[in-house]
Structure 1
C-alpha cells in the first residue's frame, strides 16, 4: 500500500507544467519515491530563477539582496549599541578568566562549556582588552552564519529566492531575537546557526542515491556544537537520528545504518569531546553546576524571592502567547499554514497532504513542536526560554515552499513576500536606529564601557589587576581589574549559595548574602565596584563606606558605576 501511495503522490505532484510525472533522471536512474522517503532534490525544485540556477540575478533579486544587507547592518548596529545585560556578566567574565582556573569549580559557570571555550579562545588569540565588543562581534557573526545556513538550505531545496528572502527577513525581523536573547553575549542565539547548518548537512547527506557518510558525520558534529552552547537543544539529536534512519526508506537498512546513523552518532561523539572531557575530569562538579543548579538551587532561590516571576503553566502560556502570537513568529506560522493550505484547496485533503508530505517537512515541524515543549520546562520562565521553536518554524516555511506545486508557486511567493514586508515594517523601528548606531562607534556599548571603566580605574588610582568585589564583573574586567572566583559568575551563584546543601558546597567557589561581610573582612579587596543597577549591591556599598574606602564615581551625571578604593598611606598623607 505504501508503494501505491508513493506512486499516486508522484503522479499527482507531477501534474504541474514544469515537472513530468515520474520521469527517469538524466542518467537513466529511476526516480525516488514520494512521501517521507522522497529525495528532496527531485520533483519539487523551482523552475528558472530558483536559487539552484546559475542564471544572472534579476534586478529584483539584487534589490532584495541589498535590502537584506541593509537589514543586517541595522541589526549589527543595534547589537553593538544594545545595553549590557545581566547574563553577560557571567558569560564574558568566565570567558575572560578561561585558562586561569576551572570554569566550574573556580568560576561558577553553570552551562555546557562551549561558549567560554570559544570566546575565551578568541580573547587569547586576539589579546584584546575590549571583551564586550569582541563578544558582541561574535554574536553578529553568528547572525551572519544563521542567514547563510538558511541560504544554503534554500539553495539545496531549490525553493526560489523569494522563499529565502522571506525566511531571512522573518529571522532578522523577529522582535524576540532582536531583543535581549539575540543581542547579548549569551548562549541564547549561538546554537541557532549550528542547528540550521546541521539540518543542511543532513539534507545533503540523505539527498542522494547513496547516503553520504561524511555529510551525516558533519551534521552530528554540528548538533553537538549546538547542544554544547545550550543544553536545551538536546532534542535535536534524537530527531535527526530518526530522520537518518527512516527518511531514506528506499535504501536497505544496512546502508542506512552504515552511511547514515553510525556516522551521525560518531560525529555527535566527536563534537561532544569537550563536554565528555569536562565530565570525565570532574563529574561531581560538572553535574552540580549544570544540573543541580537548575533543578535544586535555582528553584529554591525563586521560591523565596519576592521579585516578579512567571511560574505555573497558566502564566507560562500567557507569556508564550505574548511572544509567539506577535510579530515575525506569528508571520512565520501564518506562512507555514498558507503553504499547507494552497495544495489542500487545489487538490483536496488526500492529494494535498501527499503534496507537502516529506521527511524534511516532518522533521522541521517536529523540531518546532519540540521547541515549544522545551520552552515550558524551566521555571520560572523568561523570554529567552521561548527561542527554540522560532528557527525551526522559519525552516518549516522554507521546506514547505520546496514542496509547493507548480500551479501554486506564484501565490506562495506572493504570500511570502507580503509576510516579509510586514516583518520589515514591524522591525523597522528597531533596526532603523541600528543603522545610525553603526556609523557612530562612540555609541557602541563595548567602546563606551571600556573607555568609561578604564578612565574610572585611572581616576581612582587603582592598578591593573587589583582585586575587586563586585556583582558586575564585566565592568571590572573591562577596567582591567582582577575578579576573584567568588564573583566571576556575577550574582548568579552568590544569590543561591545559601540554599546549597553542605555536601555540594565543596564544588563551588563563592560567598553568599549571609557570609559576604565575613568574606570582605577576611580578604579586604583593593576595590569594590557597584554598577548602581542591582539591589544586591547595597551590602557592598555599605561595607565600602563604613570601612573608609574612597569613592570614585563615573561621569554620568550621578548615575553609572561607582568604584571604591581601599585607602593607602599616600591618601592619609594627602
Structure 2
C-alpha cells in the first residue's frame, strides 16, 4: 500500500473513531433517559423493597428474598450511604452506573487486548444497541444486568494475571473476586468460576505447573472466596433457610406455581427453541454471531486453516467463547422461560469479538474496517426507536417515572394523613416505600413469596414469613394495618381491596393517572 493510501486509510479510521465516540456518548445518554423513565415493573418490588429493609431482619427468613444475596447488599448499602427516600430512582441510577461501568470495562479490555478503537466501538454498539437489553433486561432494578460489569472486570484482571511477561498474582485475586461477585448477583453466571480456574491452571503452558498454582490458581481462589462471602456466610449460618429460598424456591415452588397457572408460558424444548431463535437470530445477537464468524473466516483465509486455528486458539478467545456457549445452554434451563434468560450469551460474544480483533495483523485490521462500520451502523439504526425517546426523556426530569411515582405517593400520603410511622400492607411495596410508609415483612418480596405460599412443603414453612390467598383475610384482621394499598394493575391484589371495603376502611382518591387504591383504617 502506498503512503497516500495508508494516510487515507488512517484518516477514514480516525473519522470513524471520532464519530463513533460521539454516537456512543449519545446512545449512553439515551439509555440513561430510558432507564430513568421506564415504568415500575413487578420484579423491582423484590429487589428494591428487600434492599430497603437491609439491617431490619434476615433477607431470607424475614423478607423472602430468593436469589443469591449480593443485590440487596449492594443496593441496601447505597440506600444507607445516600439516605435515599426515592428508592426506585436511586436504584435506577445504580443501573445507569452499571451501564457506564460495563462500557468502561469493555474499553479497558479492548485496550489491553490491543483490539483497536474501531473494534471497541463496534462491540460497544452491539451492547448499547441490543433491543433485549433496551427492554426490561437492562432497564430495571434487578439482578439481570448488574452482574455484567463484574463479569467483564473478572476477564480484564485475568488478562493481567496471565500476562506472559509479568504475570500478576494480585490481578488473579481480583479476577476471582469479581467472578465470584458476578455469581453472587445471579447464579446463572456459575460457569465463570470453573472456566476461569481451568484457564488459570492449564493455559500458561510456558510457566511451571507449581508456578501456575501458587501465582495463579491460589490467589484466584482466595479472591473467589472473599467475593463469595455474603453467600457463604448465609449458607454457613442458616443453610436450611438459604437453600429453601434459593435452590428449592426455583426448583420446586416456582415450578409448582407456574404449573398451576393458566397464563400462556414458554415451556419445553420446542417452545424454548422458538423463543431462542426469535432472540438470537435477530438484532445485535445476530450481528455479534455474524461478526465472530467473519473474523474467524478472515483469519483462516489470510493465514491458512491450521496456522489460523493455532493462532486463534488462545485462551483469550476461547474463554469468552466458552462463556458464550454456556450462556446459550443455561438459557434453556429455567422452566418456564422468559426473554431475559436469553440475554446471557451476547456480552461474551462481544468479548470474543474483541479478543479476535486483538489477534489480527495490520493487513487484517484494514480488511476488518468495513465489518466494523457495517455492524456499527446496523446496531445503531436498530436501536433508534428506543434510544431516541430516551434522549427526549433525559431532557425532561419532571417526567422521569421514578421521581413522578415518588412525588405522587408523597402527595397521596399527605392527602391520607399518613406519616412515616404508618404500617401499610402492599403487594407492590415499592409504592408504599415511596410514600414513606413502613411495609410488612410478609410482602417485602412483593407477590413472589405470597403466590407460592400454597406450595411450600411443611418442612420448609418455618423458613418463610408469609401468608397465602386462603389465609389473607385472617392475616389482615389480626394485623390491622393502618392502610391497605392496592395496585389495580395486579389482579392478585384484588382480595386486598375486598377486605378493605368489607372492614370499614375509607378510600382515598389516587393521584391522576395512577391505577391504585388506598384504603385507610377508620379509628
TM-score tier by shorter-chain length is: over 0.9
Q: Does 1:492 align with 2:448?
A: yes
Matching residue of 2:159: 203
Supply the distance in 1 between the matched residues of 2:522 and 2:280 (Cα, whole angstroms): 53
Q: Displacement of 1:471 after TM fit?
A: 1.0
Cα deviation 1:427-454 (Å, max 9, x = unaligned): 0110111111011111111101000111
Find the counterpart in structure 1 of residue 116 from structure 2. 160
User: Given that residues 466 and 482 in structure 1 are in contact (C-alpha distance below 8 angstroms), is that contact kept between their aligned partners in structure 2?
Assistant: yes
For 2:187 and 2:473, how far apart are their aligned partners in 1? 35
Q: Which residue of 1 aligns with 2:217?
A: 261
Q: 2:100 aligns to what? A: 144
Distance 2:107 2:244 in 1: 40
- Which moved further from structure 2: 351-360 or 269-278? 351-360
Gap regions ≥5 residues in structure 1: 1-15, 18-46, 50-56, 569-574
Q: 1:183 aligns with which of 139, 163, 175?
A: 139
The 5 Å alignment of 1:365-444 reads 365-444=321-400
Q: Which residue of 2 aligns with 1:28?
A: none
Maintained 8 Å contact 1:355/1:404: no
Asked if 1:567 corresponds to 2:522, the answer is yes
Q: Output the CA distance in 2 between the equivalents of 1:479 and 1:220.
A: 41
Q: Which residue of 1 aligns with 2:318?
A: 362
Q: Which residue of the other structure, out of 315, 321, 330, is the alignment partner of 2:271?
A: 315
Q: Deviations over 1:70-128 (max 9, x none)?
A: 11000000010011111100100000011111111000001111111111111111111
1:8 aligned residue: none
Aligned to 2:284: 328
| Gap change, CA 1:61 and 1:347, over 3 Å in 2 | closer
2:258 match? 302
**TM-score relative to the length of structure 1:** 0.88
Superimposed CA distance per residue, residues 201-235 of structure 1 (whole angstroms, 9 cap, x where no aligned partner):
00111023352110000000001110111111010
Correspondence 1:135 to 2:91: yes
Q: Closer, same or farther in 2 for the Cα pair 1:58/1:417, shift >3 Å? A: closer
How far apart in 1 are the matches of 2:55 and 2:265? 36
Question: Residue 48 of structure 1: CA displacement?
Answer: 11
CA distance in 1, matches of 2:313, 2:360: 11
Q: How does 1:498-509 map to 2 (within 5 A)?
A: 498-509=454-465
Q: Structure 1 residue aligned with 2:504, among 544, 548, 553? A: 548
Query: Which of 200, 203, 224 is matched with 2:180 structurally?
Result: 224
1:100 aligns with 2:66: no
In 2, Cα distance between the equivalents of 1:495 and 1:553?
A: 28
What secondary structure sits across from 1:502 in the alignment? coil
Partner of 1:169: 125
Distance 2:103 2:270 in 1: 34
Q: In the aligned structure 2, how far is the partner of 1:242 from the partner of 1:413?
A: 34
CA RMSD of the aligned region, Å?
Answer: 1.9
Partner of 1:34: none
C-alpha distance after superposition, 1:327-386 (max 9, x if no partner):
011111110000001122233322232232211111111000001111111111111111
The answer for the alignment partner of 2:434 in structure 1 is: 478
Counterparts in 2 of 1:544 and 1:188: CA distance versus 1, 3 Å: same
Verify the 8 A CA contact 1:553 1:560 in the aligned structure 2.
Answer: no
Q: Report how far residue 413 of structure 1 moved.
A: 2.3
**What SS does the aligned partner of 2:204 have?**
coil
Choose 456-465 or 181-190, whichever is displaced more. 456-465
Is contact 1:169-1:423 (8 Å) kept? yes
**Structure 2 residue aligned with 1:347:** 303
| 3-state SS in 2 of match to 1:218 | helix
Contact 1:343/1:405 (<8 A) preserved: no
- Checking the alignment, whether the CA contact within 8 Å between 2:16 and 2:118 is kept in structure 1 is no
Match of 2:74 in 1: 118
Corresponding residue for residue 203 of structure 2:
247
Structure 2 unmatched ranges of 5 or more: none
Q: Secondary structure at the match of 2:304?
A: helix
Q: How many residues get paired? A: 518
1:552 positional shift? 1.6
The 8 Å contact of residues 457 and 563 in structure 1, kept in 2 or not, is answered as no
Q: Does 1:81 align with 2:37?
A: yes
Query: How far apart, CA to CA, are the structure 2 residues paired with 1:129 and 1:331?
Result: 41
Q: Tell me, in whole angstroms, the C-alpha distance in 2 between the residues paired with 1:216 and 1:413.
A: 34
Would you identify which runs of 4 or more consecutive aligned residues in structure 1 move more than 4 Å? 57-60
Answer yes or no: is the 8 Å Cα contact 1:211–1:256 preserved in 2. Answer: no
The worse-fitting range, judged by mean Cα deviation, of 186-195 and 538-547 is 538-547
* TM-score (ref. length: structure 2): 0.96
CA deviation digits over 1:515-538, x for unaligned, max 9? 111101111111111111111011
CA contact 2:425–2:443 (8 Å) conserved in 1: yes
**Could you report, residue by residue, the CA deviation over 1:147-169 in whole angstroms, capped at 9, with x for unpaired residues?**
01110110001111100000111
- The residue matched to 1:492 in structure 2 has which SS? coil
